[in-house]
Amino acid sequence: MQYDDSVLTRTERRIFALRTLYTRAGYGPYRMRKFEDYDLYSRNKDYLLSDRVITFTDTNGKLKALKPDVTLSIVKNLDDRPDELQKLFYDENVYRVSERTNTFREIMQMGLECIGAAGNQAAAEVIRLAEKSLALVAGDNDYILRISDIDMLTFIIDDMSDSRYVRSELLRLAGEKNLHGIAKVCEDNDVPAEKCRVLTGLLGLYGTPAEVMPELEEICRGTVAEPEVEELKEVLGSLYDYEDGKDMHIVMDFSVIGDTNYYNGMAFEGYIDGLPESVLVGGRYDKLMQRMKKKSRAIGFAVYLDNLGMLGRTAGDEAIESFFSTYRAPEEDE
Amino acid sequence: MDSKMINVALPKGRLGEKVYKMFEEAGYGCPDIFEGRKLVFESKEAGVRYFWVKPSDVPIYVERGAADIGVAGKDILLEYEPNVYELKDLGIGKCRMVVAAPKGFRDDSEYPLRVATKFVNIAQDYYASVGRDIDIIKLNGSIEIAPILGLSDVIVDLVETGTTLRENNLVVYEEIMDISARLIANKSGYNFKSKAINTLLSRI
Return the number of other C-beta atoms located less than 10 Å from residue B79's C-beta: 21
Element (H, E) at B130: none
Name the closest residue on chain A to residue B67, using Cα atoms. A316
Give the contacts of B147 (CB within 8 A, at least 6 positions apart).
B100, B101, B102, B105, B116, B153, B154, B155, B170
Give pLDDT, residue A260.
72
Tell me whether residues A315 and B42 touch, CB distance under 8 A.
no
Element (H, E) at A15: helix A10-24
CB contacts of A327 in chain B (<8 Å) are: 40
Q: Could you tell me the pLDDT band of residue B70, with boundaries at 50, 70 and 90?
A: very high
**CB contact at 8 A, B114 and B149:** no
Best of B43, B178, B192 to substitute, by most chain A Cβ atoms within 10 angstroms, is: B192
Q: What is the pTM of this model?
A: 0.87
Of residues A288, A257, A262, A281, the one with CA closest to residue A115:
A288
Tell which phi-psi region holds residue A59, choosing left (phi > 0), alpha (psi between -120 and 50) or beta: alpha
Give pLDDT, residue A319.
52
B 18-77: CB under 8 A from A: 36-38, 40, 42, 49, 63-66
Name the DSSP class of B33.
Answer: T
Q: Which amino acid is at B103?
A: K
How far apart CA A300 and CA A22 sit, in angstroms, is: 12
Residue A207 pairs in a beta bridge with: A252
Give pLDDT, residue A334.
39
* Length of chain A as a residue count: 334
Best of B191, B194, B197 to substitute, by most chain A Cβ atoms within 10 angstroms, is: B191
CB contacts of A323 in chain B (<8 Å) are: 40
Name the DSSP class of A207.
Answer: B
CB contacts of B84 in chain A (<8 Å) are: 176
* Cα–Cα distance list, A109 to A89, A112, A126, A135 (Å): 11, 10, 17, 17
| pLDDT over 80 at B194, yes or no | yes
First to last CA, chain A: 62
Tell me whether residues B42 and A324 touch, CB distance under 8 A.
yes
B7 inside 8 A of chain A by CB: yes
Of residues A112, A118, A127, the one with CA closest to residue A238:
A127
Residue B101 pairs in a beta bridge with: B171
| pLDDT over 50 at B56, yes or no | yes
- Cα-flanking dihedrals φ and ψ of residue A255, to 5°? -85, 0
Q: What is the least distance, in Å, from the CA of B181 to any CA of chain A?
A: 12
* Cα–Cα distance list, B177 to B14, B97, B125 (Å): 21, 5, 12
Tell me whether residues A332 and B63 touch, CB distance under 8 A.
no
CB contacts of B186 in chain A (<8 Å) are: 276
Q: What is the least distance, in Å, from the CA of B167 to any CA of chain A?
A: 34
Name the closest residue on chain A to residue B36, using Cα atoms. A332
Of A180, A276, A327, the CB nearest to B186: A276
Mean pLDDT in residue range B67-74: 96
B118 inside 8 A of chain A by CB: no
Report residues of chain A scoring pLDDT below 50.
314-316, 332-334
**CB contact at 8 A, A259 and A269:** no
3-state secondary structure of A268: strand
Give pLDDT, residue A330.
52
pLDDT tens digits for B12-25?
Answer: 999 999 999 999 99
Give pLDDT, residue B158.
94
Return the number of other C-beta atoms located less than 10 Å from residue A82's C-beta: 14
Predicted ipTM of the assembly: 0.84
Of B36, B192, B194, the CB nearest to A329: B36
Residue A148 pairs in a beta bridge with: A267
